[in-house]
Amino acid sequence: MQPSTLSTWRTQFAPEIVGDSPAILDALETIQYVAGTDCSILITGETGTGKELFARATHRASTRRSKAFIPVNCAAIPESLLESELFGHVKGAFTGADRARPGRFMSANEGTIFLDEIGDLPLSAQAKLLRVLEARTVCPVGSDTELPVDVRVIAATHHNLEEMVAAGTFRADLYFRLAVVPVCLPALRDRAEDILRIAELCVARVRERIGRNVEGLDDSARAALLAYHWPGNVRELAHLIERAVLLSRRPRLAAGDISLPAPQPKAKLARGTETMAAIARPAPEALDLKAALENLERDLIDRALAKAGGNRTEAAALLGLNRTTLVEKLRKYAA
């Protein structure tokens, strides 16, 4: 696919997704290819990586774009109410059901339902969801009538569903039904080349919204952002920048304006990832952004290869890259 084709598609359907790292471009290309189909998509990635943004972009680019996009946070609904919330209920189905309710699936009929935090769905609800996906019908609580429903399903989770399947906490048949097309979003610390661009865009958006005279980031702020490990990913970055712009009294944000938390112990980070603060930082008087990013990328590639025992395919998967992209980078650094 030609980059200009993806660029045009992205401008039209995914303008809020920022970044040009290989992993982000791979994810965008995937949803571009499948957006026009009705296949189920499973989006995985740490909390704050933008899973709902990708789901909305997929719906926006689909043939269902004129119909509803219904997001459902599976982790936020009490187990006792899940079946009613998802599939609806008839009047008198239970105490307090003084009127019929269609449920989220029927509300999304002919559109898209986004099942966020699907890994937190109890096993009992997983069985009922599987039946709905297979039969394409829903049976409201208190009713014996199956109602046809036509929805496109996009699910997301920060859990490793394959590990949950092996542990018996997530149904294998439901996993395979949802993960027809898997899309894995990288952690922000694993796409350091996007950090500053996202930060500058956040500054511009907050400035425009609240009218603060903040032009951008100074060198100390840029170095601080690159050195931080971002456990909360893009969501954390956006919140910190918004706070800094709100409280800043200078035209450019400095490191002291951004309330970065103290580095966490390595054991607390997802997947045992080392903090970016552990990577050698350039001296303040020798800030070379391009060199710093290349050093960071080389370090991440070396660690992925070590973890994969030298297997390039596995290392590419750990990095969220295509194998060919990883091979090209290895050639570049070997030159």
- What pLDDT shows up at residue 289? 59
**Burial per residue of 155-169, b for 16 or more beta-carbon CB atoms within 10 angstroms, e otherwise:** bbbbeebeebbeeee
Positive or negative, the CA dihedral 129, 131, 133, 139 is negative
Residue range 233-243: average pLDDT?
Answer: 95
- What pLDDT shows up at residue 286? 46
- What pLDDT shows up at residue 263? 58
CATH number for the segment(s) 190-287? 1.10.8.60
170, 178 Cβ separation under 8 angstroms: no
User: How far lies 208's CA from each of 46, 130, 228, 242, 255, in Å?
Assistant: 29, 45, 26, 11, 22
- What pLDDT shows up at residue 219? 93
Domains 3-184 and 293-335 in one fold: no
Element (H, E) at 50: none
- What pLDDT shows up at residue 164? 95
pLDDT band at 181 (very low <50, low <70, confident <90, very high): very high
Start-to-end C-alpha separation, the chain: 27
151, 132 Cβ separation under 8 angstroms: no
- What pLDDT shows up at residue 144? 83
pLDDT band at 112 (very low <50, low <70, confident <90, very high): very high
CA–CA separation, 213 vs 221, rounded Å?
17
pLDDT band at 287 (very low <50, low <70, confident <90, very high): low
**Both structure tokens of 55:** 């789901």
- What pLDDT shows up at residue 274? 40
**Burial per residue of 109-139, b for 16 or more beta-carbon CB atoms within 10 angstroms, e otherwise:** bebbbbbbbbbbbeeebbebbbbbbeeeebb
- Residue 322 contacts by C-beta under 8 Å, 6 or more apart in sequence? 22, 26, 316
Residue range 126-138: average pLDDT?
Answer: 93
Tallying the residues shown for the chain, one arrives at 335
**Both structure tokens of 6:** 């993806």
Domain map (residue ranges) of the chain? 3-184, 190-287, 293-335
- What pLDDT shows up at residue 46? 95
At 66-106, the pLDDT tens digits run 999 999 999 998 888 888 889 887 776 676 767 778 889 99
Three-state SS at 170 = coil
Please give the CATH superfamily to which domain 293-335 belongs: Homeodomain-like (1.10.10.60)
The residue that leads in pLDDT, 1 or 315, is: 315
CA–CA separation, 60 vs 312, rounded Å?
35
Pick the CATH number of 3-184 from 2.40.50.140, 3.40.50.300, 3.30.70.1230, 3.20.20.210: 3.40.50.300
pLDDT band at 266 (very low <50, low <70, confident <90, very high): very low
Q: At residue 281, does pLDDT exceed 70?
A: no
